[in-house]
Amino acid sequence: MSVRELAVLGTASQVPTRHRNHNGYVLRWDREVILFDPGEGTQRQMMFGGVPAGDLTRICVTHFHGDHCLGLPGVVQRLSLDRVPHPVDAHYPGGDAHYFARLRHASSFYETAEVRELPVLRDGQTFETSAGTLLARRLRHPVETYGYRLVEPDERRMLPDRLAAYGIRGPAIGELIRTGHVDVAGRRVTLAEVSAPRPGQRFGFVMDTGLCDGVFALADRADLLVIESTFLTEDAALAAEVGHLTAAQAARVAAESGVRRLVLTHFSQRYAPTSRAGVPPAAERFAAEAREHFDGDLVIAEDLTRVAVPPRAPVSAAASPPAASAP
Ligand SMILES: [Zn+2]
Ligand SMILES: [Zn+2]
């Protein structure tokens, strides 16, 4: 059975805390296993989080601030140590390729694994993956930064009871899929009559950024959106100044974009993790501010937890039921 879920490895911005490791996220989407933004300590967090290095098929780096990339050397070297037999594709901002080169070869190791570098060279660039199209969009941050979005293609699901009702079986099903119709017992049956739409699912990953068009493009109708919310509203001016989002802004993006499940992460260490002098714990404050704008599924990310991609929303068949003339 296919698995679609996010393993959260780390949730801290800038500096790790006692409770939060630097960033790190692994999206498992059927056969595609993508590591996003490996901050310091990611290799060890992968062990705690039950993600073997050999599972990785792809690495996506949004930008080269340390909390998003200082774990690269360990992970890259681990791929070779474990003699991972398949290639691992790596995407990162092409304008800062020298940072990737340094991190990839940060120290001496015996290189056996194949890391294929596929840098992002322009806003809107896409890459084909086994899970669908991976889109990179430019974000607003002091260094070159791209968010990522995975889009599964729309397909149609065959309806066995309809096929049976029309007496379509065996090679006729193949013909129906190939040509969009098939003639049975003197009647033309179209694909729409015996199948239902199976809309593709969408995943968005938005890290360090101020509000910009790219944020909304990445979040658009996402089944699961992972988005930075470094600050609370009390620090909104600072957030705007340094190119970050508040929880309220991230939640408004999700609400306006029709997001189904929202994961807030990349929290500043400035907010106390436990209640202090009548002020609630940071996680509660982030949740409360987000809730004012977003009423879908909300997750305040914690290290070493898993968040499922919500099941595909049920879609009823668009076609009418078999006609009375059907056998
Ligand atoms: Zn960051
Ligand atoms: Zn940054």
**Residue 196: beta bridge partners?**
157
Residue 285 pLDDT more than 90?
Answer: yes
pLDDT score, position 315: 66
- 96 as an active site residue: the answer is no
**Does the annotation place 89 within a ligand binding site?**
no
Convert the pLDDT of each residue in 184-216 to its tens digit: 888 999 999 999 999 999 999 999 999 999 999
pLDDT score, position 320: 52
**Does the annotation place 208 within a ligand binding site?**
yes
Average pLDDT over residues 16-31: 97
Convert the pLDDT of each residue in 250-267 to its tens digit: 999 999 999 999 999 999
Ligand 2 centroid to Cα of residue 154, in Å, is 34
Mean pLDDT over each residue of the chain, to the nearest integer: 94
Ligand 2 centroid to Cα of residue 317, in Å, is 45
Structure tokens at 230: 């470094």
Ligand 1 centroid to Cα of residue 170, in Å, is 54
Average pLDDT over residues 134-139: 98
Q: Which residues contact 278 (CB under 8 A, 6 or more apart)?
A: none
Q: So where are the chain's domains?
A: 4-154+199-308, 155-197
Average pLDDT over residues 99-112: 98
| Range list of β-strands (E), 171-258 | 181-184, 187-190, 195-198, 202-206, 224-228
**Does the annotation place 63 within a ligand binding site?**
yes
Q: Which residues contact 266 (CB under 8 A, 6 or more apart)?
A: 11, 12, 13, 23, 67, 207, 208, 228, 229, 230
Residue 119 pLDDT more than 50?
Answer: yes
Residue 31 pLDDT more than 80?
Answer: yes
Residue 114 pLDDT more than 90?
Answer: yes
β-pairing, 132-138 vs 126-129, is antiparallel
Please say whether the beta carbons of 15 and 266 come within 8 A.
Answer: no
Instruction: Give 325's pLDDT tier (boundaries 50, 70, 90).
Output: very low
Convert the pLDDT of each residue in 286-307 to its tens digit: 999 999 999 999 999 999 999 9
Q: Which residues contact 27 (CB under 8 A, 6 or more apart)?
A: 5, 6, 7, 33, 34, 36, 150, 203, 205
pLDDT score, position 313: 76
Instruction: Give 131's pLDDT tier (boundaries 50, 70, 90).
Output: very high
Q: Which ligand is nearest to the CA of 146?
A: 2
Q: Which ligand is nearest to the CA of 12?
A: 1
Please say whether the beta carbons of 128 and 138 come within 8 A.
Answer: no
Instruction: Give 326's pLDDT tier (boundaries 50, 70, 90).
Output: very low
Ligand 2 centroid to Cα of residue 65, in Å, is 5
Ligand 2 centroid to Cα of residue 134, in Å, is 21
**Does the annotation place 98 within a ligand binding site?**
no
The verdict on domain 4-154+199-308 having CATH code 3.60.15.10 is yes
Q: Which ligand is nearest to the CA of 209?
A: 2
Catalytic position from the list 37, 67, 89, 303: 67
Amino acid present at 64: F
Structure tokens at 127: 């890459």
**Does the annotation place 91 within a ligand binding site?**
no
Convert the pLDDT of each residue in 38-55 to its tens digit: 999 999 999 999 999 999
